[in-house]
Structure 1
Amino acid sequence: MPEPRHTAPHEFSIQQRVYLWLSGLFVTALLAANVIGVKLFRFDIPLGDGRTLPVEHTAGMLAFPITFLLTDLLNEYYGQRGARRAVAIAFVMGAVAFVLISIARALPILEGIPGTATGASFENIFGSAALMYLASLGAFLVGSLLDIVLFGVAKRLTGGRMVWLRATGSTVVSQLVDSFVVTILFFQVAQSLTGGESAPFSFVVRTALTGYILKFVIAVALTPVIYLGRWVMSRWFGLTPLPPAGLVGGVSPPA
């Protein structure tokens, strides 16, 4: 009787390992943004003449610098296909997390155990976050896919030069769309569909614009970090950015 054959364990290449880590961090940032997105924050920026500019947005945008950097690195080193795959994985994992949270909300609560959440407190957090979660997930998909397309177009038009232009340019445009999509979906569309009170349109526009201004400033400020990320990818991992027109000289994404 022949002995069973054992397949040698698969050894991931450095390109695949880096892709897995980048994708995992990408998923983590999305999940964190969607969970904490129910909280709104506000701070005032002094304008120097006694007036202030109020900035109001959801706490979910704290993950923006991470997703901004990761989207561009994935696009730069793994192409549009690799970047879209990471977005798809993050979106599906976000949807799975939403289903699990919904099931947890439906379970009968056991009250009175020290250190555990009461039914009311659990529902206050995850119940109120449900609509924001869905709105944020939808805006993430639209904004990320638009960012990937714009990044690729800018890379082709510049022949692979001017990294700052394609990285920052694609982000500031896609995040304008993202900011309005998530704000409109949550404060107007979702509230109308669930019988809630829709926020005034002026509030929606102000929230979207002030949040976008903050994202714009962050995107510009993080431009040097993009170059640092490229240096790390090339110096530490030996990866080469993909050329604008194909995969020659670059690294193809894992299948």
Structure 2
Amino acid sequence: MAHLESQYLSRQANLFTWLTSASVACLVIANVIGVKLFSYDLGSFKVEHTAGMLTFPITFLITDLINEYYGSKAARRVAIISFVMGLLVFAVIRIAQSMPYLDAPFNVSQQAFDQILGSSAGMYLASMTAFLIGSLADITLFGWIKRLTGTKYVWLRATGSTVVSQMLDSFVVTYLAFSLFRRVGGGAGAEPMPFDAVLKTAATGYILKFVISLALTPAIYAGRAMIRKYFNMQPLPPE
């Protein structure tokens, strides 16, 4: 029987481990804090969205850096790992909710626990599905643009792939959570959202993501500079 021996991980392998872990953490955090909505009044325009948006810039940066330095296969693997870990978190939370409650003054109330961690199954699964579809679309578009432009125009493949894929992400999560899953699940107080309202709601979220994507373009160049300096890595050629 073969035995594995302790192995030294290179700096490049360690970086991949950290990026993968950060991707998983961002997805889990987004789904946990996503039950809270925020509102910023910018005068003639009001920004209203879920707090899960906070991790979007980090996820955007991680996906493109992995794609740039480890390739599309590695990026897809990280997206799938993040998705599966998100499902694991969902399952464990549901099990914890169903466990018998200890009625004691020092215990958190079941209602408070459910309010914080018990977001609707439809919303959670819609978010997870949209994440996976959006991530795979982003990775595919990133590689396609890179094959067309070579190693030039980093901003085009990084920002362009995200801008397009997030349009898909915004529509999928809104349609599934507020229309399709409500039609399937039914129940009082869960009327399906009309399709025109789905498009309007998705557009609002997409505009915010679009602005963030453009604003984060310099972060891609900063990330590339750090990886080149501290990890001695060069971007992979077009696949």
Smaller-chain TM-score range? over 0.9
Match of 2:224 in 1: 230
For residue 198 of structure 1, the aligned residue among 189, 192, 198 is 192
Contact 1:94–1:137 (8 Å) recurs in 2: yes
Identity of aligned pairs, percent?
Answer: 55
Partner of 1:29: 26
Which of 126, 132, 135 is equivalent to 1:141?
A: 132
| Pair 1:14-2:11 in alignment | yes
Matched ranges for 1:198-217 at <5 A: 198-217=192-211
Q: 2:98 aligns with which of 106, 114, 132?
A: 106
Residue 95, structure 1, aligned to residue 87, structure 2: yes
- Cα drift, residue 34 of structure 1: 1.1
Which of the pair has more CA radius of gyration?
Answer: 1
User: Following TM superposition, by how much is the alpha carbon of 1:189 offset from its aligned partner in structure 2, in angstroms?
Assistant: 1.7
What corresponds to 1:132 in structure 2?
Answer: 123
Question: 1:6 Cα shift?
Answer: 8.0
How far 1:60 moved relative to its partner?
Answer: 1.1
Does residue 186 of structure 1 match 2:177?
yes
Change (3 A) 1:226 1:113: same
CA distance in 2, matches of 1:104, 1:6: 37
- Report the Cα offset of residue 130 of structure 1: 2.7
| Root-mean-square deviation (Å) | 1.7
The answer on 1:76 being equivalent to 2:68 is yes
- More deviation, 182-191/196-205: 196-205
Asked if structure 2 preserves the Cα contact closer than 8 Å seen for 1:26 and 1:90, the reply is yes
Q: Any stretches of 5+ residues in structure 1 without a counterpart?
A: 47-51, 246-255
Q: CA deviation at 1:133?
A: 1.3
**Letter in structure 2 aligned against 1:179:** S
Q: Is the 8 A contact 1:55 1:211 kept in 2?
A: no
Distance change >3 Å, CA 122–CA 199, structure 1 → 2: farther
Q: 1:64 aligns with which of 56, 71, 79?
A: 56
Decide whether aligned partners of structure 1 residues 96 and 84 sit closer, same or farther in structure 2, where only a CA change above 3 A counts: same
The gaps in structure 2 that reach 5 residues or longer are none
Deviation per CA, 1:3-54, whole angstroms, max 9, x where unpaired?
xx986411112211110000000000000011112222232333xxxxx223
Q: Is the Cα–Cα contact under 8 Å of residues 93 and 118 in structure 2 kept in the other structure?
A: no
**Is 2:178–2:193's contact at 8 Å kept on the other side of the alignment?**
yes
Counterpart in the other structure of 2:35: 38
SS where residue 56 of structure 2 aligns? helix
Stretch of structure 1 that moved more, 154-163 or 186-195: 186-195
Cα-to-partner distance string for 1:165-186 (whole Å, 9 max, x where unaligned): 0000000000011011111111
CA distance in 1, matches of 2:198, 2:47: 13
| Alpha-carbon offset, residue 187 of structure 1 | 1.2
Q: Secondary structure at the match of 2:38?
A: strand
Say which SS state the counterpart of residue 108 (structure 1) adopts: coil
How many positions carry a matched residue from both structures? 235
Residue number in structure 1 paired with 2:213: 219
Residue 194 of structure 1 deviates from its aligned partner by: 2.1
Query: Hey, what does 1:151 align to over in structure 2?
Result: 142
> Taking structure 2 as the reference length, what is the TM-score of the superposition?
0.92
Deviations 1:182-233 (A, max 9, x none): 1111111222222222234444333211111111111001000000000011
Structure 1 CA distance for aligned equivalents of residues 194 and 40 of structure 2: 21
2:238 to 234, 244, 255: 244
Q: 1:7 to 1:65 in 2, by over 3 A?
A: closer
